[in-house]
Amino acid sequence: MVGRSTVLLGFYFGAALCPRYVLASPIDFDNQPQRQLTAEEKTNINVYESSNRSVININTKATVATGFFLVESPSEGAGSGIVIDKQGHVLTNFHVIEGAEEIQAVLYDGSSHDASLVGVDPVTDVAVLRVEAPAELLAPVQFGSSNDLKVGQKVFAIGNPFGLERTLTTGIISSLNRSLPTRAGRTIKSIIQTDAAINPGNSGGPLLDSGSLLIGMTTAIASRTGQSSGVGFAIPVGTLGRIVPQLITSGRVVRPDAGITRVYQTERGLLVAALTPDGAAERAGIRGFRVVRESRRQGPFVAEFERVDRSNADLIVGVDNVAIDTVDDFLTAIESKSPGDRVLIGVERQGHRLDVPLTLEAERDD
């Protein structure tokens, strides 16, 4: 019994002698040091606070066939849109609203409004909507320029990935002048490539620079899983500036065509690679790459070969006496005209400068 009591007393006394930790003074949560933001964080915050109200969430409904029945199918968080004026015009991708019978736009304050289709351009995957909302709820984006973008430049994407409204992601411009095929069977040119995280639902949202200016509209990702893989694409604002006014005015785009289908951008100008057969450029005498067929004897056989001769191809350096440095410069100059207009294409040909008169024609339907 003595042994047992001794053990019990020892246990209780041991517990009583364990050290107690007491805070010297309570934490004053109301008087903490002010958070110090880095310059990069301040830029991120400023871009978001300046621009997020310009982004809307687009939801659509469409009727789809299921067996013998037609079923109205909602598509929550279908995509994003960009408010461009106080009249309620909103920019988005054509594929976001394609086939939609009902379109709802959710603004930054959570209010939902009916939206109607103003115009579409499947060739560039661009659409313009009009949202029936009070002007005081509409915060138009500020437009920038895409003519002077640089690879490595920081960019910001705001959108509604997976229906999560007005989400900010950041990255850089990974490349410029990409070409992107569309479901309309055409190719969008001068595309911006970025590594900013872009996921389903981001389509139609803005790509912004550090000054909160719109430089592009996110349109697609390169992914086998349908989720961001670090390769996203945006339509440059220069292209949008040529398309959107026509969509608002007439609901569609009628493009002039110079008949030049492929060029290579160089430090001195645009090297003409391919022309539309019997197109405006070919009729005007513009020269592109030439395919040369040759025969070579290999032992007892004669083999046919083809090679591309670039030596006589024209280098485009101007349109109507205005210098051309980029593909966007050329498209801007041509698409500012109308079919039937006459332009002077300035080219360098075998060391000589020439102005070639060319009559633009309406873009052909493929």
**Residues assigned a catalytic role:** 95, 125, 203
Select from 112, 133, 108 the least CA-distant residue to 49: 108
Q: How many CB atoms lie within 10 A of CB 24?
A: 4
Do the beta carbons of residue 108 and residue 139 sit within 8 Å?
yes
In degrees and rounded to multiples of 5, residue 53 shows phi and psi of -70, -15
Contacts of residue 69, Cβ cutoff 8 Å, sequence gap at least 6 = none
Length of the chain in terms of residues written: 366
CA 206 – CA 235 distance, rounded (Å): 10
DSSP conformational letter for 33: P
Element containing residue 216 per DSSP (H, E): strand 213-221
SS3 214: strand
SS3 163: helix
Residue with tokens 């595309």: 191
Residue with tokens 């115009």: 119
User: How many Å is the Cα radius of gyration of the chain?
Assistant: 30
Element containing residue 329 per DSSP (H, E): helix 327-335
